[in-house]
Amino acid sequence: MGKKQRIRPIALCLLQWEGRLLVHEGYDSVKQVGFARPLGGGIDFGETSAAAVVREIREELGAAITAVRLLGIVESIFDYEGKPGHEIVFVYDGRFVDESLYGQEELAVVEGKRQFTAVWRSRQDLRAGPYPLVPEQIWDLL
């Protein structure tokens, strides 16, 4: 029997700098499309969404954030790599404590055993480029 499908609560942080948003660019090999998603991740049982977004950014980037403010909550129902997904997404605004991170074009991200890169992308790139912003309801909060 396969893994039970469930709704996953997550918290994402819109880290913005000079009109750009920090995102991870990914690719769905089944749909053959790219996407860009802000950093963040799952909310643990007994943890608030605000605490989760602070923890996730610290875990992924090794960086502290401050001025964390809830912008809104969106529901995202999607398919990724041929499998259905359903997330309740708490979307936060935040600022790096270490402002030198804003000057780096790329930031190394570690998520468990996975390593990838986060990049700064303009809103125009995220609308028109090969890596559109997901979940797209975030546009309503920007």
pLDDT score at 112: 81
Q: 1 burial class (0-12, 13-18, 19+ CB within 10 angstroms)?
A: exposed
**Structural domain includes residue 88:** yes
- Backbone CA torsion sign across 107, 110, 116, 122: negative
Q: What is the CATH number of the domain that holds 80?
A: 3.90.79.10
**Structural domain includes residue 2:** no
How many domains does the structure of the chain reveal? 1
What's the rounded Cα separation, in Å, for the pair 126 and 25?
10
Cβ atoms of residues 68 and 52 within 8 Å:
no
**Structural domain includes residue 18:** yes
What's the rounded Cα separation, in Å, for the pair 21 and 17?
6
Q: What is the DSSP letter of 133?
A: B
**Structural domain includes residue 133:** yes
- The residues, ordered by sequence, that sit 6+ positions from 58 with a Cβ below 8 Å of its Cβ are 64, 65
**Structural domain includes residue 22:** yes
**Structural domain includes residue 60:** yes
pLDDT score at 5: 83
pLDDT score at 31: 94
> Which of the four pLDDT bands, split at 50, 70 and 90, describes residue 1?
very low
What's the rounded Cα separation, in Å, for the pair 50 and 72?
12
pTM of the model: 0.92
pLDDT score at 3: 63
**Structural domain includes residue 3:** no
CA end-to-end span of the chain:
41
pLDDT score at 74: 97
- Which residue segment(s) compose the domain that 16 sits in? 8-141
Residue ranges of the alpha helices (H) in 39-130? Answer: 49-61, 123-128
**Structural domain includes residue 55:** yes
Query: Closest by alpha carbon to 85, among 21, 26, 22, 23?
Result: 26
